[in-house]
Structure 1
Amino acid sequence: MQADAPTPETRVSDAEDNNWVDLHAPAWARPYLRLSRADRPTPVFLLLIPCWWGLVLAMLSTQSARWEDAWIAVACTIGAFLMRGAGCTWNDITDRHIDGGVERTRSRPIPSGAVTARQALAWAVAQSLISFGILLTFHPAAVSLGVLSLLPVAVYPFAKRFTWWPQVFLGLAFNWGALLAWTAHTGSLGWPAVILYLAGICWTIFYDTIYAHQDTEDDALMGVKSTARLFGQDTARYLKYFLAGTVGLMGLAIIQALLPTASVLALVIALAGPWAMGWHMAWQLRGLDLEDNAKLLQLFRVNRDTGLIPLIFLVAALFA
């Protein structure tokens, strides 16, 4: 039997077409899965990919691969799904009075009345506790870092109220996995991981500024700040700087990690990753149309592929 198609009343306005939540999830679970943005899986990858960057870069740095690394990769995958869900749920709780006044977000579960703020809070806590249980399987230094990650996650929803740069706070939260996975493998935090983290923040500002341009009119009416509003029609010019920052910082992180021990071939292959990533980001800028919300959403979503590009080269460098 074919699943019923979601109706406009049940489907969140910016959910991905034919997503599994709207088509196949039990009716009672849909509001909670929508709180977790399970109907929009792209940002799970945007949270997960920096974890994989950090893990593979650590493996290249130490010239070692262990069975534990497979668990780190799997645990980061599960944790990314859960913590992205917890973070989005927390974001919707704090933004419940704003979301109702924004066209794109008024269909979300809390402003639409599908769940209460108290129910959403219980859901956020449940996801966080499961994530913490997974985190406890890592090296103690990584566990400490994981607990510390709750700070930027907690602050991010409020950033749009006091700074024009909330995308920086999103970058602090979304790229924490680069620090965490590196430390889970090596047992301590290193400069290559910190520089890689900064590269990820530049990348987040790049793609989330594109995403935020969908809401600039509503944000102006609600008094919500963003880099999209700050940059305005000069957005493409400013995004070139963050493109350069992403590529340059990631290249520096790779050099710092590989130069002492890796072969020249491995270094060259790894450095080709940020170079190729930069070309993909440049391609996005060529297609940028600030007045076309469908195009803006499309460009945001392709950043899953953008982040996977350097990962492919890093993995290839493991075998060089």
Structure 2
Amino acid sequence: MPDSSHITNGQVADAVKGNWVDRLAPVAARPYLRLSRADRPIGTWLLLIPCWWGLLLASATTGTFGLREVWIAVGCAIGAFLMRGAGCTWNDITDRDIDGAVARTRSRPIPSGQVSVKGALAWLVAQALLSFAILLTFNGAAIALGIAALVPVCIYPFAKRFTWWPQIFLGLAFNWGALLAWCAVTGSLTLAPVLLYVAGIAWTLFYDTIYAHQDAEDDALIGVKSTARLFGDTSPRWLRGFLVATVLLMSAAIIVALAPLANPLVLVIALGGPWAMGWHMAWQLRRLDIDDSPRLLALFRSNRDAGLIAALFLALSQLV
């Protein structure tokens, strides 16, 4: 249970200590920025990274990375911040009663009384409209995909009520950017971005199962489902499976996309990405302790680096 200082000054229990929201943001804006998880940037990274995978793999197939691709990268970054904020706001609106019953989440803005439901809804609309304005700068196929992304985003908060696999629904929502960014570059979908998307879903199952183990006991008390509760002590075996699936599916996406270029060096460098990412995930598994909440949170956050490793190799492949 968070200590009283979190409730008094408005800080959220699992926020990054000394984050910019608590130190620098205007006092009146802090509850809304906390509602958007701006004090916990890892979610923005995990939403953004698949966008950059899709962008970099698509631009590798076209052989160009110009101002349009730079804007897609920047637009995806801004959009990831806004849509992650909108998604978290929606999640906290729908989960306000559940969050109040879980030690780690009862200090969030809605259950702690910092933000009303009406205020949260207004904040949700504002973030979504700004994100839509950015989406309109992309091509028609990307715009259509961006609108379609609202379906998994809206469903996800309810998934833990009806399935033991809510992490799949999170993966469907969080990795949509791989499809969108690919379309923003090429104007259409092919097998390669679909494989990349499924690889991202496997990765989400990996990192969000680790994350969910923090709440396993509270979730059991209130009847909330998760893969952490489903797998229990067998989680390491399942996580190894998700690791292998991530590496193999991303490798397949790269091969399908880049093999037609008939440039072995480009292909080999790009394939270094999923394999290096896999080694990082294996390092996480070696450190895993499902009963150590601080370690679980640290391992979850380290997936920013895991995903960026794959993006780095995709970027390096274009310098050949």
TM-score (norm 2): 0.97
Which amino acid is the alignment partner of residue 249 of structure 2?
L
Cα pair 1:87 1:153 within 8 Å, conserved: yes
Partner of 2:191: 191
| 1:306 and 2:313 aligned | no
- Quote the offset at 1:24 in angstroms: 1.1
Cα pair 1:60 1:262 within 8 Å, conserved: no
Identity of aligned residues (%): 67
- Quote the offset at 1:8 in angstroms: 2.2
**Structure-to-structure mapping, 1:116-135, within 5 angstroms:** 116-135=116-135
Cα pair 1:63 1:262 within 8 Å, conserved: no
- Quote the offset at 1:7 in angstroms: 4.2
Can you list the C-alpha shifts for 1:195-216, whole angstroms capped at 9, x where unaligned? 0000000000100000000000
Which amino acid is the alignment partner of residue 177 of structure 1?
G
Which residue of the other structure, out of 6, 9, 23, is the alignment partner of 1:8? 6
Which amino acid is the alignment partner of residue 77 of structure 1?
A
Q: How much is the aligned-residue C-alpha RMSD, in angstroms?
A: 0.9
Partner of 2:251: 251
- Quote the offset at 1:23 in angstroms: 1.0
- Quote the offset at 1:64 in angstroms: 2.1
**5+ long unaligned stretches in structure 1:** 1-5
Which amino acid is the alignment partner of residue 150 of structure 1?
L
Cα pair 2:6 2:107 within 8 Å, conserved: no
**Structure-to-structure mapping, 1:264-303, within 5 angstroms:** 264-303=264-303
Partner of 2:263: 263
Cα pair 1:44 1:81 within 8 Å, conserved: yes
Cα pair 1:269 1:316 within 8 Å, conserved: yes
Can you list the C-alpha shifts for 1:209-267, whole angstroms capped at 9, x where unaligned? 00000000100011000000000000000000000000000000000000001510000
Partner of 1:177: 177
Which amino acid is the alignment partner of residue 243 of structure 2?
L
Q: CA–CA distance in 2 between the matches of 1:194 and 1:121?
A: 33
Number of aligned positions between the proteins? 315
Can you list the C-alpha shifts for 1:83-135, whole angstroms capped at 9, x where unaligned? 00000000000000100000000000000000111110110111000000100
Q: CA–CA distance in 2 between the matches of 1:236 and 1:165?
A: 16
Q: CA–CA distance in 2 between the matches of 1:274 and 1:47?
A: 17
Can you list the C-alpha shifts for 1:126-173, whole angstroms capped at 9, x where unaligned? 100000010000010100000000000000000000000000000000
- Partner SS, residue 198 of structure 1: helix
Q: CA–CA distance in 2 between the matches of 1:39 and 1:151?
A: 26
**Structure-to-structure mapping, 1:91-106, within 5 angstroms:** 91-106=91-106
Q: CA–CA distance in 1 between the matches of 2:63 and 2:24?
A: 44
- Quote the offset at 1:316 in angstroms: 0.5
Partner of 1:3: none
Q: CA–CA distance in 2 between the matches of 1:108 and 1:170?
A: 20
Which amino acid is the alignment partner of residue 297 of structure 2?
L
